[in-house]
């Protein structure tokens, strides 16, 4: 379980999140809200990329402030732009990066690379340059690079925003099929329509937190879309 207790974050003097408390226990959690409402800030808190100014964030009881290494392994993160999270030239080199950081041995790295790449039909591309993959394939590679680190939770920050419809459907399908807990920040309301829970951010706080139907309804209303 990821738990936020009285979490506040401000940039310079601007408050972005104010006293947010949440317990994330469901397997599929959607996070929505208008531009600048603090969704990415919230997401970055969950794996310790960002530390709260006040309050605590814990992952399975581990404080993100003091247990950064363990938290990084438990909580994977997939970003909006796949191009910026692929850091090695070749597909198979990139996928190994996180595992090397965690100190996995060579045999394990090879086995897990094969498993992950086969899962997403990227196996034939393993020795290809990542730059020549399609947007959807790049995002699947980014997801693979996270999955091989064996996280319990995966946070997605707008994973489909830059993708065309076909690629978006592929990536959406991949997210649906994950065994891990997924926390998905998105502007795509279809993506989260069948999730277990949807959290809506507005005015530095949680404006709604409910099943998708109710939460999305409140969000639409607040946005003037009735």
Partner 1 sequence: MFDLYRPGTSFLHRAPAGGKVLALFVLGTLAFIVDDIRLIFAGLALTLLLYPVCGLTLKNAWAQIRPTLWILIAIFIAQAIFNTWQLGVFVIARFGLLLLLAGLLTLTTRASDMIDGIERGLPFLRPLGVNPAKVSLALSLALRFIPVLAQITREVREAQRVRGLENSVIALAIPLFVRTLRMSDDIADAIEARGYRP
Ligand X SMILES: Nc1ncnc2c1ncn2[C@@H]1O[C@H](COP(=O)(O)OP(=O)(O)OP(=O)(O)O)[C@@H](O)[C@H]1O
- The residue ranges that bind partner 1 (CB under 8 A) are 44, 47, 49, 69, 72-73, 76-77, 79, 81, 83-90, 93, 96-98, 101-102, 127, 129-131, 145-146, 149
Of 37, 40, 58, 85, which lies in the binding site for Mg ion, with binding defined by CB under 5 A?
A: 40
Return the number of the residue (36 or 89) whose C-beta is nearest ligand X: 36
137/151 Cα distance (integer angstroms): 21
Contact 162, 135 (CB under 8 A): yes
Asked whether position 76 contacts ligand X by CB under 6 A, the answer is no
Of 1, 23, 36, 124, which lies in the binding site for ligand X, with binding defined by CB under 6 A?
A: 36
106 Ramachandran zone, left/alpha/beta (phi>0; psi -120 to 50): alpha
Contact 169, 141 (CB under 8 A): no
Could you tell me how many residues make up the chain? 226
Sheet holding 75-78, edge to edge: 75-78, 153-157, 181-185, 28-33, 197-202, 205-210
Least distance (Å) between residue 94 CB and partner 1: 8
Asked whether position 160 contacts Mg ion by CB under 5 A, the answer is no
Least distance (Å) between residue 142 CB and partner 1: 8
21/37 Cα distance (integer angstroms): 16
Asked whether position 11 contacts ligand X by CB under 6 A, the answer is yes
Residues making contact with Mg ion (CB under 5 A): 40
* Site residues for ligand X per CB under 6 A: 11, 16, 33, 35-41
């Amino acid at each position: 379980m990821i738990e936020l207790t009285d979490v506040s974050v401000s940039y310079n003097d601007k408050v972005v999140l104010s006293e947010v408390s949440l317990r994330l226990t469901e397997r599929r959690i959607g996070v929505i809200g208008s531009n600048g409402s603090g969704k990415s800030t919230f997401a970055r808190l969950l794996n310790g990329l960002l530390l709260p100014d006040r309050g605590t964030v814990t992952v399975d009881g581990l404080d993100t402030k003091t247990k950064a290494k363990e938290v990084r392994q438990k909580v994977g993160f997939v970003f909006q732009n796949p191009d910026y999270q692929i850091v090695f030239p070749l597909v198979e080199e990139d996928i190994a990066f996180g595992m090397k950081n965690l100190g996995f041995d060579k045999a394990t790295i090879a086995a897990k690379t094969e498993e992950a790449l086969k899962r997403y039909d990227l196996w034939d591309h393993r020795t290809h340059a990542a730059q020549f993959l399609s947007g959807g394939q790049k995002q699947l590679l980014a997801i693979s690079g996270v999955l091989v680190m064996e996280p319990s939770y995966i946070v997605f920050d707008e994973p489909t925003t830059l993708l065309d419809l076909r690629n978006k459907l592929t990536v959406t399908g991949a997210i649906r099929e994950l065994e891990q807990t997924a926390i998905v920040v998105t502007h795509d309301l279809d993506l989260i329509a069948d999730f277990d829970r949807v959290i809506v951010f507005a005015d530095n706080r949680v404006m709604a937190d409910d099943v998708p139907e109710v939460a999305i309804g409140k969000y639409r209303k607040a946005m003037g879309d009735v």
